[in-house]
Amino acid sequence: MNIKKFIACVLTLCMLASFASFPAMADDATYPTRVKVFTMGDSFTQGVIEPNAYRYYIYENLIKDGAVFEFIGPSTSGDFRVTDKYERHGGVGGAVIGDAKDYKWDGSKWVTTSHIDYPDTNHTINGSVNSLHYRLFAGSDGTNDYTKTPYGNYVKNADIVTVFIGLNDYYDGSEGGRSYKLADVLDRYRVIVDRIFEINPDVSLYLTDLPVVSSLRGWTNPEDENGVYAYNKGVLGTLVPEYQAQGKNIHGISLNQEAYKWDEATDHPDDDGHPNPKGNRKIGTQIYLGIKDEILTRNQTKTDVVYNPVRVSSLTLNKTSATMKTGEDLTLEWELLPADAEIISVLFSSSNEQVATVDKYGRVHAVGAGSATITATALDNSEIKATCDLTVTSETYKKISDG
């Protein structure tokens, strides 16, 4: 064999062997990036009247959009409508913005140095437990090492952080008490924002204002320089633009958009300000509208981290038909399969609310005589449904006359 041809063959074989040993780097990163969302706040975030509070409606809307995300945080809501990925949060009842003067290290633990006394005297808030400052600065070893604080690691691992805070920080005029004076509260808030960006410079931070609820302890007068209107203007009109000018990835979300205007009579009739499901839907929808574009954009970045959730394949109700009398109630039970599906929420609707209404838990109320169909739809797949046909009758009472 010609020596030149021999050498060429050897080189060719070596090259083929080389390619066989090291496969071509094809673009095999095909999974959407799952976005981690950490929600921080007070009892509105924690949930009082409704488990998962407004966060459920963020979740519901994002799932409908096909978004790939999860909530992270130290707490869970106990909401049976969602799996663990969608119920975690950083909300705690009575939380305030707080500051370093609220607590100190006594050599072995953090102790409170001040309290916040509400004008109605029904609450006393321990500043060291219920402030965002404590949860971002107070390390378990007495330092401010964020990895040892209650919230630091969640901020570090989050792609998006939302903060809905301020309802418990208002100014009550008492000397030595917590001040809702605008300058003071914004200064305290700046410390929180600085800390979040110190922990995670790349995070997207969303600050909300406060829903204007007229019953909330009389501090919603538009002319009050220390009231909620001033606070909202300070957060969205001063704080957010201030950090945007520094190049920070920070955004403002108003919870007072006209389409979702707060209605005291229908949105929180059960207690002093905590929203019921109607109110939570308004809050959650506005936050969803604020963050959805970023989540969907981040999802477009592909990763090799496998995202292959177990999907719902079937949905059945315990009743396919029922007869009721006006005024009666009936609870429909459902089963989703497989049991380990990731999205386990079911949406209920009535074809005729003049005949029967149904809530998100499948509780049916007979309103008037007639027919209606209750439809249960899997949030995971709107094509998967189950129905119950209702017939509602009204009893007629005849008066039997004497004689």
Report pLDDT digits (tens) over 317-349: 999 999 999 999 999 999 999 999 999 999 999
Q: Which two tokens stand for residue 26?
A: 């094809």
Q: Which two tokens stand for residue 155?
A: 């901020």
Contact (CB, 8 A) for 257 and 264: no
Nearest Cα neighbor of 54 from 278, 328, 306 is: 278
379 or 273: which carries more pLDDT confidence? 379
- 356 phi, psi to nearest 5 deg: -155, 140
| CA 372 – CA 357 distance, rounded (Å) | 9
Residue 64: DSSP 8-state = H
Nearest Cα neighbor of 71 from 99, 90, 54 is: 90
Confidence of residue 185 (pLDDT cuts 50, 70, 90): confident
pLDDT digits (tens, 9 = 90+) for 125-155: 444 467 899 999 999 999 999 999 999 999 9
Over range 185-210, report the average pLDDT. 97
Q: Which two tokens stand for residue 380?
A: 């995971």
pLDDT of residue 232: 92
Q: Which two tokens stand for residue 219?
A: 């501090």
* Residue 85 three-state SS: helix
113 or 333: which carries more pLDDT confidence? 333
Contact (CB, 8 A) for 383 and 392: no
pLDDT of residue 219: 62
Confidence of residue 180 (pLDDT cuts 50, 70, 90): low
pLDDT of residue 227: 77
Q: What is the DSSP string of 181-217?
A: -HHHHHHHHHHHHHHHHHH-TT-EEEEE-----TTST
Over range 53-74, report the average pLDDT. 97
Over range 282-295, report the average pLDDT. 98
The one-letter code for the residue type at 185 is V
Given CA atoms 4, 6, 7, 9 in this order, what sign does their dihedral have?
positive
Nearest Cα neighbor of 75 from 100, 102, 93, 59 is: 93
Over range 152-162, report the average pLDDT. 99
pLDDT of residue 12: 44
The C-alpha torsion from 364 through 365 and 366 to 368, rounded to 10°, is -120
Q: Could you give all domains of the chain from N- to C-terminal order, each with its CATH number?
A: 35-114+123-171+182-300 (3.40.50.1110), 314-393 (2.60.40.1080)
pLDDT digits (tens, 9 = 90+) for 223-282: 777 778 888 999 999 999 999 999 999 999 999 999 998 887 888 776 667 888 999 999
